[in-house]
Structures are given as C-alpha cells and as structure tokens.
Amino acid sequence: MESSKVIQAIYNDDDVLMAAVKKVKAKRHHIEEIYTPFHIHGLDKAMGLAPTRIAITSFIYGCIGLIISVLMMNYMMITDWPQNIGGKPSFSYIENMPAFVPIMFELTVFFAAHLMVITFYLRSKMWPFKKAENPDPRTTDDHFLMELAVHGNEKELENLLKETGAVEINIVDKEAH
Amino acid sequence: MYTFSNKLKTFSIILVVLGFLGVGYGFMTSHKSLDEVKIILAEEHGSDHAEETTTVTSIDEHTEAQKADEHAKHVQHQIANRPWSALYVSAFFFMMIALGVLAFYAIQIASQAGWSPVLFRVMEGITAYLLPGALIVLGIAVASGTIGHYNLFVWMDPEVVEHDKLIQNKSGFLNMTGFIIRGLIFIGGWSLYRYFARKFSIAQDTAEDNRNFKKLFRISAAFLVFYIYTSSMMSWDWIMSVDPHWFSTLFGWYVFASMIVSGITVIALLAIFLKAKGYLEFVNDSHLHDLAKYMFGFSIFWTYLWFSQFMLIWYANIPEEVTYFVTRIEDYNLPFFGMLILNFIFPFLLLMNSDFKRVPWFIVLTGIIVLLGHYIDIFNMIMPATVGDRWYIGIPEISSVLLFAGLFLFIVFIALTKAPLLAKRNPFIKESENFHY
C-alpha cells in the first residue's frame, strides 16, 4: 500500500452513514472500507462495489449437492444392496424416485448453504484465530466506521466528513499489511 | 381515478359473448344417443381390439352385449359431463383468484405490512369478483345435480348412493341441503368481510383519525380465522367430493396454495398493466420485486404440498387412495406432469435471479405460465372424476375460460373505477410509497 495514513469517521446511525457514503462518493473520494455491526441494504451499491457472485456459487453448489445425492442413493439403495421397502420396485432408481426426493432436496440445501458460507469466509479472508481487522471494537456494537485513504488532503476530508454527520474523526497511521 | 376504457370494455364483452357461444355449442353437442356412442367406441377400438374379440367369443354373448351396453352408457354420461366440468373448472379457477387475493389482502392488513398499502386498491378491485364468482360456482354445482344429470358430483345421484355403502356413510355431510347451506355460509362470510373491508378502506381516505383502520385490522384478523376453516371445507365440498370415495387430509392446504399463488400473480399482472397505463406511478419496482418473491415462494410451497400429498399416497399404496393418482398418471399423464413443469420448474428457474424479479415483462411471462399451470391444476382435480379419459382441451374448455375471463375483467375493472387507486390516508401509505429494496 502506498499510503499508510487513513482517516476514520465514526457514525452512530445507518441512515446517516448511507447519506454520508453518497456524499463522499459524489466528491469522488475512494472509500477504502466500511465496518458495520450489521448488514445495511444497498450499501454495496452506494459504495460502488462490484455485484457479489456468491449467489452463482450457491446455485452451483446446490447442483453439485443434487448430483451427489442422486449418485449416492443410486449406489446405496439400488446398486450395492437393493433395498426392498414397502414392496416398491428396488432395482430402478427412476421408479423409486419419489422416495428419494426428500433426501435430494435436503442435500441440495445442505451443499448450497454450507459451501456458500465456507466460500464467503474464504473470500473475506476469515479463518479461525485470525486477528480482527476492524479498527474499533465499537463497530461490533452500535457504531459504523468509514475509512478513507489520505493523500495529503486531511483538512478537506475532515471538513467533508464532519459535514456528513460523523460523531468522531480520527487520523490513523496504518501499518502496511 | 381509473377510467375503464371503451376498448377494454368491448374486449371483455366480446370474450363473454364468444365464451357464451362456445359453452352453448359444447352443451348442444354433448348429448349423444347410445347408438352414436357405440359408433364412436367402435371407431376408436376398431383396430386394436380386433384380436381380442376373437379370443372372447367363448364367453356368453348375452353378458358380453350387456357389458358393452353398460360401457357405452358410462361413456355417454362422461361425454355429457364434459361441458359441465369445463364450465365448473373455469368458474372455480377465476373465483379462486379472487378468494386468494382476499386472503392475501387480509394477511397484509392483519400483519400491518408496510410495503403493500399502495396495492390495496388493486387487490380490492380483484376481490370484487368474489361474490358473483362464488355464486356462479355454487350455482353450477347445484344445477348439475338438479337440472343436469348429476354431471359433476355422483353423490348427488340418489340411485348411486343407494348402491354405495361408503357414500351412504358420508351422506350426513354430503347431501344437497348441507352442500347449499355450507356454500352460502362460506360465500356470505367472505362477502361480508369484503364488503366491510372495502367500506372501511374507502372511509379511511377521508377520515380525520385511524378509527376505520383499526376496525379494518380487527375484521381482517377475524376473517383470517374464518377463512382458514372455510377455505379448507370449501375445497372438500366443491372439489374433493367429486371423488367421494377418496380423501386427502392436506387437500385444503393444497387448494389454498394454488389459490394464493394465482391470486398474487394476478395482483402483479394487474399492477403492471395499470402502471404501464400510467395509473400507478407510486408503485415502484421494489413492490413488483416483493410480489415476484411471493410468486416464487408460493410456487415452491404449492410444489411442496403437491409432492407431500403424492408421495405419502404413492408410498402407502392403499388401493382406495392410490386410484386417484393411478387415473391421473394413466389417463392424464401430460397435464398431470406438465403442470409440475409449468407450476414449479418455470417459476423456480425464471424467478430465481433477484434482478429478473424487477423486470415487468419477465413477471408477465412467468405469471401467464403460472396461471396456465394452475388452471390445469384445477382441471386435473375435477376432470378425471367426471369425464375420465374422455378429456380434451377443446371448444368447451377454451370458451369456458373466455367466458369467465371476460366476466372477471369486466367486474374487476368496473370495481377499479369506483375509488381512487391510492389508499391515501392509510397510516402506512408513506412507508409503502418510500419502500425500496
């Protein structure tokens, strides 16, 4: 990172933050990161982030889960040890299909959900025992923090952020990571 | 204020007239004499039964002829049933849309939803069809057992009941008087709620306080309790009893799922239509997005119930239960499995993407598919019991749809002209107008 100096503005309301983001973006400043205690609808769009592709991965994982469930049950219940349950035809997967639908559904959901969460953690570079990145512990409670890089325009940024309703503004020297 | 354009008015009247002619034609051509039926049967079986007849000549020819006579009589009755059933399916389908919308509307009010008040007048317009629509359904059902020859409900035929122990045991519930009284109670309750809900909703527009809103809230909660019982009982009476030997414990829910998803679809289609005409400028794409989410969700809910009903019966394989699905899979294979594609696969894949739910033409496309699918759903509920394998989507079916579609459009659009399209004094209207995703 070329600049190690950042300005951190803290807000105590998500609507104020949202308006601030729009104002800062309108002035063409680059927002490094925003830390919030909860998800704010539309914040990603306001920040100009690229749309997430997590839904696409989730769809793919769901398809994988569906295929695995079909292959698994076909092997277990038809090929390896044909099971006769309630006199249903036991040598054909398709004729026995209704009985397998609940498991096909469950494994689809299971794969989609778990793999999506794991992907999300990996993509956000989060793993067990990782040191927290958020600069202020209050962002896990009731405060919102916007971080902007400083390129020798401290005063201008400070005034702008104050105008937008920040309750606290700090200029921090960040160690390069 | 919406004005019912002359073009649309003529269009709906033309639909009614065309439908009426077609229905009349259907009834006129459905009376076949026994000899005509035998000729039809001989033509159908001519080629593939030639071999069989040579092998059964040893059996007593007298009983053989009697059997053929009985079969021909049976087929004659099925042919006569077809226009009745076609009319009944369409009448029920359009009534069900209005009833589904009424339930959805009551849920919105009872849950004090903040997103939907801009759509209340559209919903109230659609529910205007409920009273005439439901009376027509009940009327057709009763007429089939009085002027008709028991064309829809076999339990209405005293001669059938006389020889049927199972129906005799159920006759405490399944009898004409009870059927009419229950039907009138259902319709009366729904229409009373609809009448007062509309009245309070309009009174709220010019009110100084929220008294009307509170009253509306209270009657909506009460109506939902009434609706839960009556919608379920209505589905036993008006649909499930066409197969009086068969029963399913989740049938009421299954019909409800069909009802609510068709209702929401029509709300979305009508809102898109009115918005395109410039009447609903306060409805934004977030409202459409929410409606599309409901279409998506309830389509999956419908599939869940369809499958739950199917799988339990398929798995248990009890003869008196499983015949229901055997008939549908053998004689109705295409509509029975085709409706799964229309009602589940299409909405599931088309409406999965979040962005597609905000594109009007995408919602319209999916909506038309969903409505078609749920028409076929009702078709599959009624037809196998009444016409058996003598089904076809022909003049009687299509013209019945035209008839009730025309009537539906006419009544709904007239109701829309009666009040401003924005419930402007609703306490949640500001929230609804500013609603965004």
What string of H, E and C letters represents the secondary structure of chain A? CCCCEEEEEEECCHHHHHHHHHHHHHCCCCEEEEECCCCCCCHHHHHCCCCCCHHHHHHHHHHHHHHHHHHHHHHHHHHHCCCCCCCCCCCCCHHHHHHHHHHHHHHHHHHHHHHHHHHHHHHCCCCCCCCCCCCCHHHHCCCEEEEEECCCCHHHHHHHHHHCCCCEEEEEECCCC
Angstrom CA distances, A156 to A11, A48, A110, B287, B370, stand at 18, 22, 50, 40, 57
Average pLDDT over residues A24-45: 88
Residue B138 belongs to a domain? yes
- Chain B residue at shortest CA distance from A51: B355
Q: Is the pLDDT assigned to residue B39 strictly greater than 90?
A: no
CA angle B290, B294, B300 (to 5 degrees): 145
- Are B307 and A98 an interchain contact pair (Cβ–Cβ within 8 Å)? yes
Considering the domain architecture, whether residues A30 and A61 belong to the same structural domain is answered as: no
- Are B354 and A55 an interchain contact pair (Cβ–Cβ within 8 Å)? yes
- Which of B290, B314, B321, B337 best probes binding to A when mutated, by most A CB atoms within 10 angstroms? B314
Asked whether the beta carbons of B357 and B298 are under 8 A apart, the reply is no
Considering the domain architecture, whether residues A117 and A79 belong to the same structural domain is answered as: yes
Query: How are beta strands A5-11 and A144-149 bridged, if at all?
Result: antiparallel
Tell me the one-letter amino acid at B263. Answer: G
Residue B62 belongs to a domain? no
Poorest-confidence range of A14-18, A172-176, B19-23, B291-295?
A172-176
Q: Write the pLDDT tens digit of every residue in B247-301.
A: 899 999 999 999 999 999 999 999 999 999 999 999 999 999 999 999 999 999 9
Considering the domain architecture, whether residues A27 and A82 belong to the same structural domain is answered as: no
CA angle B51, B56, B62 (to 5 degrees): 130
A88 contact residues in B (CB cutoff 8 A): 315
Q: Which two tokens stand for residue A36?
A: 């919030």
Considering the domain architecture, whether residues A59 and A85 belong to the same structural domain is answered as: yes
Residue B252 belongs to a domain? yes
Considering the domain architecture, whether residues A117 and A68 belong to the same structural domain is answered as: yes
Residue A134 belongs to a domain? no
Phi and psi at A175, nearest 5°, equal -75, 135
- Are B437 and A41 an interchain contact pair (Cβ–Cβ within 8 Å)? yes
- Chain B residue at shortest CA distance from A97: B311
Residues of A in CB contact (< 8 Å) with B are 41-42, 55, 59, 86-88, 98-99, 101-102
Q: How far apart, in whole angstroms, are the C-alpha atoms of residue B398 and residue B395?
A: 5
A42 contact residues in B (CB cutoff 8 A): 436-437
- Give yes or no for B310 touching A (CB within 8 A): yes
Residue A99 belongs to a domain? yes
Is the Cα dihedral B334, B335, B340, B344 positive or negative? positive
Which of A55, A59, A86 is facing B317, going by the closest CB pair?
A: A86
A41 contact residues in B (CB cutoff 8 A): 437
| CATH number for A147 | 3.30.70.260
Confidence band of B54 (pLDDT split at 50, 70, 90):
very low
Q: How far apart, in whole angstroms, are the C-alpha atoms of residue B369 and residue B392?
A: 19
Which of B314, B353, B436 is facing A98, going by the closest CB pair?
A: B314
B317 contact residues in A (CB cutoff 8 A): 86-87
Considering the domain architecture, whether residues A58 and A111 belong to the same structural domain is answered as: yes
Average pLDDT over residues B98-117: 96
Distance of CA A158 to the CA centre of its chain: 30
Residue B63 belongs to a domain? no
Asked whether the beta carbons of B115 and B271 are under 8 A apart, the reply is no
* Domain around A33: 5-37+142-173
Q: How far apart, in whole angstroms, are the C-alpha atoms of residue A127 and residue B118?
A: 46
Starting from the edge strand earliest in sequence, which strands make up the sheet with A168-173, in order?
A: A31-35, A144-149, A5-11, A168-173
Residue A98 belongs to a domain? yes
B353 contact residues in A (CB cutoff 8 A): 55
Q: How far apart, in whole angstroms, are the C-alpha atoms of residue B173 and residue B333?
A: 32
CA trace torsion A11, A17, A20, A22 (10° rounding): 160
- Give yes or no for B325 touching A (CB within 8 A): no
Residue B174 belongs to a domain? yes
- Are B311 and A98 an interchain contact pair (Cβ–Cβ within 8 Å)? yes
- The number of folded domains in chain B is 1
Is the Cα dihedral B97, B103, B109, B115 positive or negative? negative
Considering the domain architecture, whether residues A62 and A111 belong to the same structural domain is answered as: yes
Residue in B210, B133, B115 with CA at minimum distance from that of residue B407: B133
Residue in A15, A1, A24, A17 with CA at minimum distance from that of residue A156: A24
- Give yes or no for B352 touching A (CB within 8 A): yes
Using DSSP's 3-state secondary structure scheme, residue B168 falls into helix
- Chain A residue at shortest CA distance from B354: A55
* Domain around B197: 6-44+76-433
Q: How far apart, in whole angstroms, are the C-alpha atoms of residue A80 and residue A75?
A: 6
Q: How far apart, in whole angstroms, are the C-alpha atoms of residue A132 and residue A142?
A: 17
Residue B52 belongs to a domain? no
At A44 the pLDDT is 87
At B163 the pLDDT is 92
pTM confidence score: 0.89
Using DSSP's 3-state secondary structure scheme, residue B101 falls into helix
Considering the domain architecture, whether residues A106 and A166 belong to the same structural domain is answered as: no
Residue A30 belongs to a domain? yes
- Are B315 and A87 an interchain contact pair (Cβ–Cβ within 8 Å)? no
Q: Write the pLDDT tens digit of every residue in A128-145.
A: 888 888 888 899 999 999
Q: Using the 8-state DSSP alphabet, how is residue B129 labeled?
A: T
Residue B156 belongs to a domain? yes
Considering the domain architecture, whether residues A76 and A115 belong to the same structural domain is answered as: yes
DSSP-based helix, strand, coil % in chain B, nearest 5: 80, 0, 20
Q: Is the pLDDT assigned to residue A1 strictly greater than 50?
A: no
- Are B311 and A101 an interchain contact pair (Cβ–Cβ within 8 Å)? yes
Residue A42 belongs to a domain? no
Residue B60 belongs to a domain? no
Residue A69 belongs to a domain? yes
- The number of folded domains in chain A is 2
Q: Write the pLDDT tens digit of every residue in B338-372.
A: 999 999 999 999 998 888 999 999 999 999 999 99
- Give yes or no for B315 touching A (CB within 8 A): yes
